[in-house]
């Protein structure tokens, strides 16, 4: 991971990502003068970086249209295409990747007037303008991962911590992201990596955000929180949810968590599994007694390096690829049009698909498998196939990576 410099300081990017509170003042000064930071991934040609504020902290993002000039493996590297969402012209889309950041129209109310806590209220105002579609929470969570570049692995390291995930998510949001018409930093909090030495600053930032979640009996202001799911526990009145980054309890009904266990079955079963990560996007409101209650949620299964996966078997494959320092990506279908969508694609050699077959014998699954195999054969795309009930993962042969240049 490269070094970055600002305000006369030069530190490893990983150090900044893990301890953003420590460098907040220096980044604030650099944002004023000279107005940018530098990335030293190319030692003889440092590249400018944008300094952005989100809440009370600062983070770095790539300079516009400069991503291809960063070294391969650098977090700020962006190849053309790059697997990230590209700006669209559909004004009715639920999620628009605008030049100044994501513009999201959620299928969830962040502000309610005269509404009973725990309910969702829609308005049916008449308008001549085209009606925007609405995105479910899972689609928004997947878009966050895609925009951040967290669906690909550069193959240059074996680990990615929550500090890096936090920084990449904030950079992927863009400079002027909006959610339901409101600036993202007012309604969305991406949990910080906990650091004892910066506990006061991190807690102060989070407490300031939580203070925006209010309910005076007639108006309820909700908010969204992204973090790694740590525990779902029983309470006398239902369930409590805890994120790994802070031991704050968010209360939920057994009905909501029961629905989540079915809707996000692979993720829910992996809670507590040391080989996997489970990411949660919580829609939270304040109860009349001041407690934080989860109104809705989405859960996403990830590998140990936070790449999204569709099953625990995919987690195992992604973990192996990361350990072996392979460059690869996890395609995510965000719209119709992809007739193949492999489980993974190797990036360190000409296109090779990786398929993980974990539902062998199911008729519809076997039909889809045969269709994809026929398409790859017709297009001349080589594939690595792992039948999880026939051979252990360590026996699956992977093609060697090409030498890095």
Of 34, 21, 26, whose CA–CA distance to 63 is shortest?
A: 34
Cis omega before residue 34 (within 30°)? yes
Q: Would strands 111-113 and 219-221 be described as parallel, antiparallel, or unpaired?
A: antiparallel
Task: Give me the residues paired with residue 368 across strands.
Answer: none
Over the stretch 209-228, which tens digit does the pLDDT of each residue have? 999 999 998 999 999 999 99
So what's the pLDDT on residue 118? 54
CA distances in angstroms from 281 to 170, 339, 388, listed in the order given: 15, 29, 30
So what's the pLDDT on residue 18? 86
Question: Over the chain, what is the mean pLDDT?
Answer: 89
**Both tokens of residue 235?**
């309470």
- What are the φ and ψ backbone dihedral angles of 273, each rounded to 5 degrees? -75, 120
pLDDT 10s digit of each residue in the chain, 405 long?
789 999 999 999 989 998 888 899 999 999 999 999 999 999 889 999 999 999 888 999 999 889 899 988 888 888 754 444 544 557 789 999 888 899 999 999 999 886 555 554 444 444 456 788 999 999 999 999 999 999 999 988 778 999 999 999 999 999 999 999 999 999 999 999 888 888 898 999 999 999 999 999 899 999 999 999 999 999 999 999 999 999 899 999 999 999 999 999 999 999 999 999 999 999 999 998 999 999 999 999 999 999 999 999 999 999 999 999 999 999 997 665 567 889 999 999 888 999 999 887 788 888 888 999 999 999 999 999 999 999 999 999 999 998 655
- Asked whether 125 and 144 are in contact (CB, 8 A), the reply is no
Of 128, 316, 292, 325, whose CA–CA distance to 223 is shortest?
A: 292
Q: How many CA atoms lie within 13 A of 384 on its CB side?
A: 19
So what's the pLDDT on residue 57? 84
Over the stretch 312-323, which tens digit does the pLDDT of each residue have? 999 999 999 999
């Amino acid at each position: 991971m490269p070094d970055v410099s600002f305000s006369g300081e030069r530190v490893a990017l990983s150090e900044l990502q893990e301890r953003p509170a420590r460098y907040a003042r220096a980044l604030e000064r650099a944002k004023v003068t000279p107005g940018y930071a530098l990335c030293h991934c190319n030692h003889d040609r440092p590249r400018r970086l944008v300094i952005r504020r989100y809440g009370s902290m600062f983070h770095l993002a790539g300079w516009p249209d400069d991503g291809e000039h960063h070294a391969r493996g650098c977090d700020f590297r962006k190849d053309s295409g790059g697997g990230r969402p590209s700006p669209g012209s559909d004004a009715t889309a639920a999620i628009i990747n605008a030049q100044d950041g994501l513009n999201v129209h959620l299928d969830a109310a962040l502000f309610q007037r005269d509404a009973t806590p725990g309910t969702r209220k829609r308005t049916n105002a008449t308008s001549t303008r085209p009606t925007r579609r609405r995105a479910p929470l899972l689609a928004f969570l997947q878009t966050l991962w895609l925009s951040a570049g967290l669906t690909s692995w550069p193959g240059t390291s074996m680990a990615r911590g929550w500090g890096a995930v936090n920084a990449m998510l904030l950079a992927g949001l863009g400079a002027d992201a909006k959610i339901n018409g409101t600036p993202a930093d007012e309604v969305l909090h991406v949990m910080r990596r906990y650091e004892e030495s910066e506990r006061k600053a991190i807690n102060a930032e989070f407490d300031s955000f939580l203070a925006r979640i209010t309910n005076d009996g007639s108006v309820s202001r909700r908010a969204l929180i992204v973090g790694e799911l740590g525990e779902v526990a029983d309470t006398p009145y239902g369930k409590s949810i805890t994120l790994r980054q802070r031991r704050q309890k968010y209360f939920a009904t057994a009905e909501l968590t029961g629905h989540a266990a079915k809707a996000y079955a692979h993720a829910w079963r992996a809670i507590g599994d040391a080989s996997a990560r489970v990411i949660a996007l919580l829609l939270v409101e304040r109860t009349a007694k001041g407690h934080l209650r989860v109104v809705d949620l989405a859960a996403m299964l990830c590998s140990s390096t936070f790449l999204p996966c569709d099953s625990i078997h995919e987690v195992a494959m992604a973990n192996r690829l990361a350990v072996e320092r392979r460059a690869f990506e996890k395609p995510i279908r965000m719209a119709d049009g992809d007739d193949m969508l492999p489980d993974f694609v190797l990036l360190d050699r000409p296109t090779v698909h990786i398929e993980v077959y974990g539902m062998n014998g199911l008729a519809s699954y076997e039909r889809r498998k045969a269709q994809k195999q026929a398409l790859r054969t017709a297009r001349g795309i080589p594939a690595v196939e792992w039948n999880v009930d026939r051979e252990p993962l360590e026996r699956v042969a992977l093609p060697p990576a090409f030498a890095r240049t």
